[in-house]
Chain A
């Protein structure tokens, strides 16, 4: 079976090479059959990599420890869903998983467009194949997951060893979210390859118009949504598993996942300027290029050991391959842009600084400033060591100081953008649209201040959050009121009708609201409290309005781990509210101990309790309790974000045709110089256009 997997992987590599070389030859010789066979080879990669993945999973599920990768990341007692997730637990398997997800995207991109865009698709196929060649090179020749245990004897014969038991999965990964989080994040990382391939293809093939943007709009949103969910699930995993009371530590690997998300967000906004006004073409192409390169950089940071991180894979020499690939990608992008830069000339100019275009411009500037700050802080220790030969740390205080003001300004722009009109906004419209949302925000801030809410950034965040929420509500209300009065429906029905007519716009507003929820949740961290105490049965610990009463400590065990568990009664205002059971688990296969956090979560606050171990001096159990306000808003914001993106991905409600009375000319007829045309002219009443 190992030979089967290796062979499938090697064939996948050869298919990708053929798709690349054959595709280029097809473009140069203009031989349609060659191009078609190259595109088919690109699709075949998916089937072959799927076979390799299936083969590796077979080893996991049959507890066949003859493969080094399987024996290092699994054991017999591991529950089945963790055996499945062990595929991406280590360097080699996760790279194979990466190739598999990439091949799925490539297959669908090529399959769905196989009969469309004949000028564009050969370039897309070549670009996708180029990226696949790189990852399949790693899978086949640098970090193969099909390495067998054993060796050569004196006569040169190969002997395969098979262990009776594996080392087990890293205990930190034995958590349900670890079955979901990496696939989500990797789907985000790999998903950005599709818009990258279309952008590069459009540039290389000088494909006319904004077609590539229309084609890739949904692909980009899907990748962005996966990336968002992946980041949030990672944060939730860190919160629920690592047991330090927080969800984001500005760790280099966390930052690496955040960087392409930022540029992807910038792209999703600036792309509207190109669609609407034919502006920012160079900017958009480079945003897609940079987003893809940041995905590769993030992967490199996680795997190379360049930066130290608790989330990183073991240090390896694979970083050089990624640096080389990044250099090639950058040079190709640069050359393609330089050669075809006249193709990217703007169709329109900025008419006014008070317009939606300029708000998008600022939004992009601020997002890129945030991206630069995070990238700079993440890589500065490497730069410092290289220049001064001194290692330094750049930790959370730096990132908080630099990014929080940027984030506040971004939140402000989230509210401002939808209120501005395309081209130019009059002063009257500005006053009319801004007055009550801004007034509402300031009023909320004043009330909070009067009630003793004095933390600067949380106060600003509250004002901005109320402002943005009111602007979103106002947008829905204004549109729905017109529909309700015209169609005679109630306001709620009209809101539904309005949303379904322009799903992208109103789905976008829902995503903006999700960001508000996430910002409120993050702002709550300014009021975190924590306390640590040695506790025995009968001892109590007080944090906020909660009293934690220690009842006893017991032991629980199964085939996978032995656990020491604390039984804690939670009292609020003297009344028993619930029981919490924080644990320390000793995993038998890996011989590693980890904490299992117990959390009582509510919309207002989380009571987060960790059994931190035993005091080295007294050998008494230590309980660490945290009171974290509003954390749940972050996770709820994540759900709203997915719903909003899903809404934006839906097609607009079908346009209904309304016929004009005979004798009334359509605008088309007027501009074509045929006034008074007697023929009835169909006019689309329900516009399908996006805003």
Chain B
């Protein structure tokens, strides 16, 4: 019994290792593509935040210009950095250092470039305010303006009312 215990323990350990190895072998392929897919998706998301620097004005992942000197190398670098586990911020910063701030698809909302974001909101509000003032002035004038038009006799007005009623009935 005592002599079998170590044996049975060793066998159990061996069985456990075998099962674990089997599970790893069986399940790993199921996990690996998922991990790769996630990486690809992350690279795709990051690539969509950057512009190809070949002058095509297209997002990095969309540049398909034949013979583009930049997009292939940039995408490869992006994939490598994503695979290495670099953070999004680190990857974007390294691309800015390498290719300049034009590599970013949209400018950050800080410093001078903050203006690019704020003006499309401020300008319509200002325009709305201006129009509101014009409309108010118009309406004030409309209230103050005396009624115009030629003076009509009561008979003519009566006739006009009868005609209008007749036309409405029709």
Considering the chains assembled together, what is the distance between the CA atoms of A358 and B131 in angstroms?
A: 10
- A432 sits at the interface (CB 8 A): no
- B5 sits at the interface (CB 8 A): no
- A391 sits at the interface (CB 8 A): yes
Are A675 and B159 closer than 8 Å at their CB atoms? yes
| 9-residue interface stretch from A295-303, A371-379, A555-563 | A371-379
Are A393 and B105 closer than 8 Å at their CB atoms? yes
Are A349 and B104 closer than 8 Å at their CB atoms? no
With A380-B116, A393-B102, A594-B66: A368-B127 Cβ-Cβ less than 8 Å: yes
**Chain B contact residues: helix, strand, loop or mixed:** helix
- B156 sits at the interface (CB 8 A): yes
The proximity string for A residues 61-82 relative to B, scoring 1 for CB distances below 8 Å and 0 otherwise, is: 0000000000000000000000
In the complex, which residues of chain A have a beta carbon less than 8 angstroms from the beta carbon of B63?
244
Are A595 and B66 closer than 8 Å at their CB atoms? yes
Are B135 and A395 closer than 8 Å at their CB atoms? no
Considering the chains assembled together, what is the distance between the CA atoms of A624 and B62 in angstroms?
A: 10
| 9-residue interface stretch from A128-136, A186-194, A382-390, A440-448 | A382-390
Are A394 and B106 closer than 8 Å at their CB atoms? yes
CB neighbors of B among A325-379 (8 A): 346, 349-351, 353, 358, 361, 365-366, 368-369, 372-373, 376-377
Considering the chains assembled together, what is the distance between the CA atoms of A665 and B105 in angstroms?
A: 71
In the complex, which residues of chain B have a beta carbon less than 8 angstroms from the beta carbon of A396?
59, 105
| 9-residue interface stretch from A44-52, A246-254, A413-421, A459-467 | A246-254
In the complex, which residues of chain A have a beta carbon less than 8 angstroms from the beta carbon of B145?
349
Are B113 and A361 closer than 8 Å at their CB atoms? no
In the complex, which residues of chain B have a beta carbon less than 8 angstroms from the beta carbon of A657?
none
Are B156 and A308 closer than 8 Å at their CB atoms? no
Tally of chain A residues near chain B (CB < 8 A): 58
Q: Which residue of A lies closest to B155 (CB)?
A: A675
The proximity string for B residues 110-138 relative to A, scoring 1 for CB distances below 8 Å and 0 otherwise, is: 01110111011001100110010001001
Are B102 and A349 closer than 8 Å at their CB atoms? no
Q: Which residue of B lies closest to A245 (CB)?
A: B62
Are B135 and A353 closer than 8 Å at their CB atoms? yes
In the complex, which residues of chain B have a beta carbon less than 8 angstroms from the beta carbon of A377?
116, 120
- A479 sits at the interface (CB 8 A): no
- Contact partner, B156, options A391, A398, A673, Cβ 8 Å: A673
Are B131 and A365 closer than 8 Å at their CB atoms? yes
| 9-residue interface stretch from A31-39, A177-185, A609-617 | A609-617
With A395-B51, A398-B106, A595-B64: A616-B100 Cβ-Cβ less than 8 Å: no
Q: Which residue of A lies closest to B123 (CB)?
A: A372
The proximity string for B residues 52-63 relative to A, scoring 1 for CB distances below 8 Å and 0 otherwise, is: 000111110011
In the complex, which residues of chain A have a beta carbon less than 8 angstroms from the beta carbon of B81?
none
In the complex, which residues of chain A have a beta carbon less than 8 angstroms from the beta carbon of B51?
393, 395
The proximity string for A residues 559-594 relative to B, scoring 1 for CB distances below 8 Å and 0 otherwise, is: 000000000000000000000000010000000111
CB neighbors of B among A386-440 (8 A): 387-388, 390-398, 401-402
- B84 sits at the interface (CB 8 A): no
In the complex, which residues of chain B have a beta carbon less than 8 angstroms from the beta carbon of A351?
139, 142
Are B124 and A394 closer than 8 Å at their CB atoms? no
- A670 sits at the interface (CB 8 A): yes
Are A369 and B124 closer than 8 Å at their CB atoms? yes
- A243 sits at the interface (CB 8 A): yes
Are A392 and B102 closer than 8 Å at their CB atoms? yes
In the complex, which residues of chain A have a beta carbon less than 8 angstroms from the beta carbon of B128?
365
- A689 sits at the interface (CB 8 A): no
Q: How far is the CB of B124 from chain A (nearest CB, A)?
A: 4
Q: Which residue of A lies closest to B144 (CB)?
A: A349
Q: Which residue of B lies closest to A369 (CB)?
A: B124
Q: Which residue of B lies closest to A244 (CB)?
A: B62
**On chain B, which size bracket covers the interface?**
35 or more
Q: How far is the CB of A42 from chain B (nearest CB, A)?
A: 38
- A309 sits at the interface (CB 8 A): yes
With A350-B142, A372-B123, A675-B159: A358-B64 Cβ-Cβ less than 8 Å: no
Are A393 and B103 closer than 8 Å at their CB atoms? yes
- B67 sits at the interface (CB 8 A): yes
- B42 sits at the interface (CB 8 A): no
Considering the chains assembled together, what is the distance between the CA atoms of A366 and B111 in angstroms?
A: 28
In the complex, which residues of chain B have a beta carbon less than 8 angstroms from the beta carbon of A251?
57
Considering the chains assembled together, what is the distance between the CA atoms of A249 and B58 in angstroms?
A: 7
In the complex, which residues of chain A have a beta carbon less than 8 angstroms from the beta carbon of B4?
none
With A350-B135, A361-B131, A387-B112: A393-B62 Cβ-Cβ less than 8 Å: no
Considering the chains assembled together, what is the distance between the CA atoms of A401 and B152 in angstroms?
A: 58
In the complex, which residues of chain A have a beta carbon less than 8 angstroms from the beta carbon of B102?
381, 391-393
Are B106 and A388 closer than 8 Å at their CB atoms? no
Q: How far is the CB of A347 from chain B (nearest CB, A)?
A: 11
Considering the chains assembled together, what is the distance between the CA atoms of A446 and B48 in angstroms?
A: 32
Q: How far is the CB of A73 from chain B (nearest CB, A)?
A: 20
Q: Which residue of B lies closest to A364 (CB)?
A: B131
Considering the chains assembled together, what is the distance between the CA atoms of A350 and B64 in angstroms?
A: 54
Considering the chains assembled together, what is the distance between the CA atoms of A301 and B72 in angstroms?
A: 29
- Contact partner, A369, options B113, B123, B141, Cβ 8 Å: B123
With A245-B62, A624-B64: A349-B142 Cβ-Cβ less than 8 Å: yes
- Contact partner, B138, options A243, A245, A350, A671, Cβ 8 Å: A350
Q: Which residue of B lies closest to A279 (CB)?
A: B138
- A28 sits at the interface (CB 8 A): no
With A369-B123, A391-B101: A310-B55 Cβ-Cβ less than 8 Å: yes
- B28 sits at the interface (CB 8 A): no
The proximity string for A residues 103-146 relative to B, scoring 1 for CB distances below 8 Å and 0 otherwise, is: 00000000000000000000000000000000000000000000
In the complex, which residues of chain B have a beta carbon less than 8 angstroms from the beta carbon of A675?
155-156, 159
Q: Which residue of B lies closest to A242 (CB)?
A: B64
- Contact partner, B116, options A252, A376, A616, Cβ 8 Å: A376
Are B120 and A372 closer than 8 Å at their CB atoms? yes
- B150 sits at the interface (CB 8 A): yes
Considering the chains assembled together, what is the distance between the CA atoms of A398 and B117 in angstroms?
A: 8
- Contact partner, A365, options B116, B124, B139, B155, Cβ 8 Å: B124
Are B62 and A670 closer than 8 Å at their CB atoms? no
Q: How far is the CB of A281 from chain B (nearest CB, A)?
A: 13
Are A610 and B107 closer than 8 Å at their CB atoms? no
Q: How far is the CB of B71 from chain A (nearest CB, A)?
A: 11
Considering the chains assembled together, what is the distance between the CA atoms of A309 and B57 in angstroms?
A: 7
Q: How far is the CB of A308 from chain B (nearest CB, A)?
A: 5
- Contact partner, A244, options B49, B58, B131, Cβ 8 Å: B58
- Contact partner, B101, options A368, A390, A610, A613, Cβ 8 Å: A390
With A244-B64, A616-B72, A670-B156: A369-B127 Cβ-Cβ less than 8 Å: yes
Most buried by A among B62, B101, B128: B62
- B19 sits at the interface (CB 8 A): no
Considering the chains assembled together, what is the distance between the CA atoms of A243 and B65 in angstroms?
A: 8
Q: Which residue of B lies closest to A593 (CB)?
A: B66
- B160 sits at the interface (CB 8 A): yes
Q: How far is the CB of B17 from chain A (nearest CB, A)?
A: 38
In the complex, which residues of chain A have a beta carbon less than 8 angstroms from the beta carbon of B141?
349
Ranked 8 nearest A-B pairs via Cβ: A349-B142, A369-B124, A395-B105, A373-B120, A349-B138, A398-B106, A244-B62, A593-B66
- Would you mind naming 10 contact pairs between A and B with Cβ atoms under 8 Å apart? A310-B58, A349-B142, A350-B138, A361-B135, A395-B105, A397-B105, A402-B120, A594-B66, A610-B64, A667-B163
Q: Given contacts A384-B116, A388-B112, could you give 20 more A-B pairs where the C-beta distance is less than 8 Å?
A: A251-B57, A308-B57, A310-B55, A310-B58, A349-B141, A361-B131, A365-B131, A366-B124, A372-B119, A380-B115, A391-B101, A392-B104, A398-B107, A402-B120, A594-B66, A612-B64, A670-B156, A670-B159, A670-B163, A671-B150
B interface list, Cβ under 8 A from A: 48-49, 51, 55-59, 62-64, 66-67, 72, 100-107, 111-113, 115-117, 119-120, 123-124, 127-128, 131, 135, 138-139, 141-142, 145, 150, 152-153, 155-156, 159-160, 163
